[in-house]
Amino acid sequence: MGDYFPNVKKINYEGPDSKNPLSFKHYRADEIILGKTMAEHLRFSVCYWHTLKNMGADPFGPGAIIREYNHSSDPMTVADQTMDAAFEFFAKLGVGFWCFHDRDIAPEADTLAETNKRLDTIVAKAKKLQADTGIKLLWGTTNAFSHRRFMAGAGTNPSPDVFAYAASQIKKAMEITCELGGEGYVFWGGREGYDTLLNTDMGRELDHLALLLQMAVDYKKKIGFTGQLYIEPKPKEPTKHQYDFDSGNCYAFLQKYNLVDHLKMNIEANHATLAGHDFCHELEYCAANGILGSVDANRGDLLLGWDTDQFPTNLYDTAQAMYIILRNGGFTTGGLNFDAHVRRQSIDTDDLFHAHIGGMDAFARGLKIAAKMIEDKAFEQAVTERYKGWSGELGAKIEKKQVGFEELEAYTLKHGEPKIQSGRQELLENLLNEYL
Ligand code: XLS
Ligand code: NI
Ligand code: NI
């Protein structure tokens, strides 16, 4: 491990009264909530691409952040030092997991063979650091969107040669994820979408995307990789219209191509809002359909309207998100991965710690609030009450498919105008605020 963050020691829980900004006020890894530790519930993960590699570049200028591990002119020295810095950071923060894209951890060389060799070198190092620290890989993924060869997509590229390149890259990324004991593997559609329909055969592109995923499912079996596969929906950016628009859209795609048993969703908060939903809508949709897998924990900025990938700080969101996640049985293979980066002006290494500490405390509070909401059953009772008609005779007959239009018409003619009830939204919103 490195010594790239010398000013920061291990971050400890000091409680809500502490004035030390480099401490947790709410996240106490071993505190038991509803029968599990906070660490087991929250399964925090640091992402390599933002936390280690993002230097604050935006569409108007290059990065403004300078990191000690990033100085060498030799790209493999940078990769090696970055891995040391990464594990120093993970360990000081006290997270259990990390995530990476293949190209984050080792730079691309002139040929695929040479690139894969570089990956092997870095993966051997990561494996050792994982063993030394006990930090595990939540998921791995492929960057098949940055290189110019992927400008028109990877699986949906008009060229089968580019499709083949993407497949080769995913093959290797799945192998190294398996080698590192990864608990999952993510497919974010990168540039799988279109900028104009005038040059696009949408039906064919969707068929190809499904073929690529089917190959991944087959190869997973072949190499004995037992991690969970996920799709990460996102509606736009970089293309005007990404095919994996939202979880509803992805679910339809998976069903059409018989992939639904093999992939779950990795829901990113900022992608949910870009799709015109909110974070909780996407989580609840997945929970309702048995496809909730993992979470990219971040937030957007309503006024900017793009994927700003900010750290989550909003308790209203984290509490309601944890309420959904807990009622769905909690995470199994998934976790809360901070797919978030500090702002361009946050140039100090301390800022990286403040960002993650804030996100972890926001979710720790969310967890505690959600646990209390579950224990009190107030919201559960309100929902049960609202649907209680369905436990009566008529509701049961409809749900059991014992009646059709004719029987329901006869019932309505007999009983007349239905009784209606208040939705009680304001009451419930006020109640939620009592918990915050
Ligand atoms: C980009 C995505 C990406 C995925 C992993 O918007 O969020 O970071 O999480 O490829
Ligand atoms: Ni993401
Ligand atoms: Ni994002």
Indicate the burial class of 31 (C-beta count within 10 angstroms; 0-12, 13-18, 19 or more): middle
Ligand nearest, relative to CA of residue 188:
1
- Give the rounded distance of the alpha carbon of 248 from its chain centre: 16
pLDDT, residue 194, reads 98
pLDDT per position as a tens digit, 148-164: 999 999 999 999 999 99
Q: Which residues of 267-276 are buried (b: 16+ CB within 10 A; e: fewer)?
A: bbbbbbbbbe
192 C-beta closer than 6 A to ligand 1: no
Nearest CA to ligand 1 atom 5: 188
pLDDT, residue 305, reads 87
104 C-beta closer than 6 A to ligand 1: no
How close is the Cα of 188 to the center of ligand 2, in Å?
7
How close is the Cα of 131 to the center of ligand 2, in Å?
26
Question: Could you tell me which of 360, 369, 322, 435 has the C-alpha nearest to residue 28?
Answer: 360
How close is the Cα of 380 to the center of ligand 3, in Å?
32
297 C-beta closer than 6 A to ligand 1: no
How close is the Cα of 188 to the center of ligand 1, in Å?
6
* Whether the predicted model's global pTM rises above the 0.75 cut: yes
Domain ranges of the chain: 32-375, 381-435
Active site residue 104: yes
Residue 28: CB atoms within 10 Å: 17
pLDDT, residue 319, reads 98
Residue 397: CB atoms within 10 Å: 14
pLDDT, residue 39, reads 98
pLDDT, residue 331, reads 98
3-state secondary structure of 108: coil
Task: Write the DSSP assignment of 174-233 as a string of letters.
Answer: HHHHHHTT-SEEEEE-TT-EES-GGG--HHHHHHHHHHHHHHHHHHHHHHT--SEEEEE-
The one catalytic residue among 26, 50, 80, 104: 104
Is the bond preceding residue 238 a cis peptide, omega within 30 degrees?
yes
32-375, what's its fold? TIM Barrel (3.20.20)
pLDDT, residue 1, reads 75
340 C-beta closer than 6 A to ligand 1: no
- Mark the ranges of the chain whose per-residue pLDDT is less than 50: none
Instruction: Please name the residue that has the structure tokens 């909690």.
Output: 330
Bridge partners of 194, per DSSP, are 241
244 C-beta closer than 6 A to ligand 1: no
